[in-house]
Amino acid sequence: MSAREDFWSRRKARVAAEDAAAVEAREEAQRAEARASLEEKSDAEVLELLGLPDPDTLNRGDDFSAFMAEAVPDRIRRWALRRLWGTNPALANLDGLLDYGEDFTDKSMVIENMQTAYQVGKGMLTHVQKLAREAEALSALTDTETEAENEAGTGAVEPDVEEQGEETDPPELAEAAPVYSYETATEEADAWAAPPRRRMQFTFDDTAEPST
């Protein structure tokens, strides 16, 4: 492909991408206008306009997928999802063991003057560093106290055995260890030496005539 053909191919691809982006922008503007017009209408009018049933009339096993369409306003979609959750016993009857089952945006659940060590972008790092510094300071203080106690203990005078008049028993003589000589070691080595290896021997008869 020549440089001229490559230029026009890239030019056509760029024009096609610009046209696709313009079409997408027009469609998005139309969808935004449609959503804005639906937001001004009541729930009953929106359901009638989109041909959707009342979510409260649906039961378990009914099809809720029509409410997931893009043209459906968010408030109607959330209404249908609440009804879907309510018709399913596994979702409606919670056992209270959910980690995120509570509404943490409820102001009545917030403790008065509650504070946290969490920082955006740092997490609990500052709090952990503070605990580490406190632990190091406590360890240094403990080491200092231990050294002071050891220094105070070294000044104590140990009692003298002779001054107490206690007699110590003479140490018992250890049993004489057996003495091994070179001859004894050699005899033991010979006694435990491995037997000599046998070699195969062959005898040839020179008087035999060679076979033809």
Amino acid 173: pLDDT: 47
Q: Are residues 10 and 47 in the same domain?
A: no
CA distance 103 to 136: 40
* Nearest Cα to Cα of residue 84 among 68, 60, 50: 60
Dist CA 77 CA 75 (whole Å): 5
Per-residue pLDDT, 105: 72
pTM: 0.38
d(CA 56, CA 46): 15
The answer to whether residue 16 sits within a structural domain is yes
* pLDDT given at position 89: 84
pLDDT given for residue 161 in this prediction? 47
Judge if 5 and 34 occupy the same domain. Answer: yes
Domain housing 30: 1-40
Residues 52 and 84 in one domain: yes
Any domain includes 64: yes
Q: C-alpha distances in angstroms, 181 versus 133, 156, 178, 186?
A: 68, 53, 10, 9
Q: State the pLDDT at residue 34.
A: 76
- Residues 21 and 55 both lie in one domain: no
Is residue 48 included in any domain, yes or no?
A: yes
One-letter amino acid at 38 equals L
pLDDT score at 175: 52
Q: Do 13 and 49 sit in the same domain of this protein?
A: no
Structure tokens at 166: 């206690």
Total number of domains constituting the chain: 2
- Closest CA relative to residue 58, chosen from 79, 44, 89, 72: 79
- Quickly count: other Cβ atoms within 10 Å of residue 55's Cβ: 22
Last residue of a domain, one of 61, 95, 129: 95
DSSP 8-state code for residue 41: S
* Phi, psi for residue 123 in degrees, rounded to 5: 65, -135
Q: Which of 95, 111, 131 is the last residue of a domain?
A: 95
Domain co-membership, 87 together with 52: yes
Residues 32, 20 share a domain: yes
Is there a domain that residue 175 lies in? no
Tens of pLDDT along the chain (212 residues) come to: 567 678 788 888 888 898 899 888 888 888 777 777 777 788 888 888 888 999 999 998 899 999 998 888 888 999 999 999 889 888 787 777 777 777 767 777 677 777 777 777 777 777 788 888 999 999 888 888 888 887 776 655 455 545 544 555 555 544 555 555 556 555 655 555 566 677 777 777 666 565 55
Distance CA 43, CA 72 (A): 11
pLDDT tens column, 89-107:
887 877 777 777 777 677 7
At 159, the amino acid letter reads P
In this structure, the answer to whether residues 14 and 47 fall within a common structural domain is no
**Same domain, yes or no, for 88 and 52?**
yes
* Same domain for 91 and 50: yes
Q: 28 and 61, same structural domain?
A: no
Is residue 102 included in any domain, yes or no?
A: no
